[in-house]
Amino acid sequence: MFASRLSRRLLIAAGATSLTLMAAAPGFAQDTMKLGLVAAMSGQSAKSGEAIVRGLTLAVDEINAKGGVLGKKVELVVRDDESNPAKGVIAARELVQREKVAAFFGGLDTPVSMAIVPFANQSKVPFIGVWAAGTAITRNGAAENYVFRVSAVDALVDVALVDYAVKKYAAKKPGMILINNPWGESNEAGLKAALAAKNMPSAGVEKFEGGDVDLVPQLTRLKDAGADTLFMVANVAPSAQVVKSLDRMGWNVPVVSHWGPAGGRFTELAGPSAEKVHFIQTFSFSGNPSLKAAAVLDALKAKYPQIKSAADVTPAVGIANAYDAMHLTALAIAKAGSTDGTKIRDGFYEIGSYEGLIKTYNKPFTKDNHDALSPSDYIFTYFKGDEILPLTN
C-alpha cells in the first residue's frame, strides 16, 4: 500500500500525462490510447524511474499536441515494480489485461525485464525497454519476438568497456566485480567474450550481493591476482559499496563501469572517490551542442520548474532513452494503423528516419535486430558533484 501511494506521488510529481489529461477533460479516457510503463518508482532507483516517466511524458505532450496517434490522445499509465521481478510481471499483466495498453515500456532492472519478456511474447503486446541492458531481453530466442529496446545492450557495452580500459588505462589484466544476478551473468559472458576477442587474460571474476557492505575479500582476491583495472557491474548502492571497499583497502585501481552508478545518489553514497569511476551512458545534456538537446532541455525546464540546468536532469539517459522510445513507438503504431499487437510489432520494422534526441534513427529495427542503439551511440562519463559529465578522451 505504501509503495502504491509513493508511486502515485512520484507520478504526479513527474507530471504524468494520464492523470493531468483526465482531470482536465471528464470522459476523455474514452478518446485515448493507453501506453504503459513498468519501472522502479520507489526505493534506491526512484530517481531513475522518475527520469523515465519525465522522458515518456515529454514525448507524449509533443505527440498529443500534434493530434495524438490514430486520432487518439496518448495516455501514459505507470506501475511500480519496486525492482522486484514477480511484482514486475504482475504489473505487466495488469497493464495488458486490465488497462488494455497497446504497448508498454520496461524500466530499470534486467531481472525484472527478463521476467516480463515471456509474458510480452505470449500476450503479443510490444514491450519496449528503455534502460535494462541485459542482452537476452531482446535476444530472447522467441520465434515471435515482441520485445524492442532503445537502450544499451550488455554484449555491446562489454566490448566498449574493454576497448576503453585498454585505450584509457593500458589495461593488460583486468578483473571483474559483478552483482550476483542475471545482469551480472549477462555481463560476465559479454566481458569474457570481449577479452577473448583481444586475446587478453582476466584477473578473475568476483560476485557480490546487493546487500553486501564489505567487498574487501573479493577485491583482495582480484588485487592478489594482479588486476590492473576493474570492470564493475551493479546498480547505485552496490556500486557505492565497491568504491568504499576500495577506499578501505587503499587500492587506487581504475574502475570502468557499466551505467549502474548513474541511477541515483551515487556520489552521496560512495563519497569523494565516486568521481574516479568512469561509466558508460547513451546520452548527456551536458556539453551537448545538439539543437534538439537544447530544445528538449528547455521543454523540461518549462514543465518541471525544479530543473534549472543540465545538472538537474541526472540521469539523462532515463529521459533520453524514454523520450526517443515513446516517439518511435508512436511511429510504429501509426505505421500499423491499428492497436493490434502484431501489427504494431511489424510497424517497428517499417519506421524510416526519425530525428531523435540521442541520434537520427534510420531503420532502427529489423526482424533480426530489435535494438535501436549501437556502440557508436555510447559515451563515457563521470560524476562531478551530482552532475554526470562526458569524458573528452
Residue 88 lies in a domain: yes
Domain shared by 265 and 176, yes or no: yes
Domain shared by 236 and 333, yes or no: no
Domain shared by 168 and 250, yes or no: yes
Q: Measured between alpha carbons, how far is 177 from 186 in angstroms, rounded to an integer? A: 13
Cis-peptide into 85, omega within 30 deg: no
Domain enclosing residue 254, as ranges: 155-281
Domain shared by 223 and 89, yes or no: no
Domain shared by 191 and 260, yes or no: yes
Residue 384 lies in a domain: no
**Overall number of domains in the chain:** 2
At 393 the pLDDT is: 57
Type of residue found at 327: H
Task: Count Cβ atoms within 10 A of the Cβ of residue 212 and give its class: 0-12 exposed, 13-18 middle, 19 or more buried.
Answer: middle
Q: Measured between alpha carbons, how far is 265 from 46 in angstroms, rounded to an integer? A: 10
At 265 the pLDDT is: 82
At 10 the pLDDT is: 42
Residue 390 lies in a domain: no
Domain shared by 125 and 239, yes or no: no
Last residue of a domain, one of 230, 260, 281: 281
Domain shared by 352 and 274, yes or no: no
Residue 23 lies in a domain: yes
What grid cell was written down for 338?
Answer: 491499428
Half-sphere exposure of 308 (CA within 13 A, CB side): 2
Rounded mean pLDDT for each run of 10 residues along the chain, 393 residues in total: 40 38 38 96 86 97 97 97 96 98 94 97 98 94 97 94 97 98 94 97 97 96 98 94 97 96 86 95 91 96 92 88 98 98 98 97 97 94 89 74
Type of residue found at 304: Y
Cβ partners under 8 Å of residue 48, min gap 6: 39, 40, 107, 108, 131, 262, 263, 264, 315, 318
Q: Which residue do the cell numbers 531482446 mark? A: 138
Report yes or no: 149 and 372 within 8 Å, Cβ to Cβ.
yes
Beta bridge partners of 257: 232, 279
Type of residue found at 111: P
Residue 392 lies in a domain: no
What grid cell was written down for 307?
Answer: 530543473
Domain shared by 259 and 299, yes or no: no
At 30 the pLDDT is: 53
Domain shared by 268 and 308, yes or no: no
Domain shared by 146 and 20, yes or no: yes
CA separation, residue 349 to residues 56, 59, 101, 129, 132 (Å)? 21, 21, 20, 16, 22
Q: State the CB neighbour count (10 A cutoff) for residue 268.
A: 11
Domain shared by 198 and 320, yes or no: no
Residue 235 lies in a domain: yes
pTM of the full predicted structure? 0.85
Residue 379 lies in a domain: no
Report yes or no: 357 and 324 within 8 Å, Cβ to Cβ.
yes
DSSP letter for 123, please.
Answer: H
**Beta 32-39 vs 103-106: how paired, if at all?**
parallel
Residue 359 lies in a domain: yes
Last residue of a domain, one of 221, 251, 281: 281
**C-alpha torsion angle, residues 91, 157, 180, 109 (rounded to 10):** -10
Q: Give the start-end residues of each E strand in 188-313.
A: 204-208, 230-233, 255-257, 278-281
Domain shared by 72 and 14, yes or no: yes
CATH number of the domain residue 47 falls in: 3.40.50.2300
Last residue of a domain, one of 246, 281, 316: 281
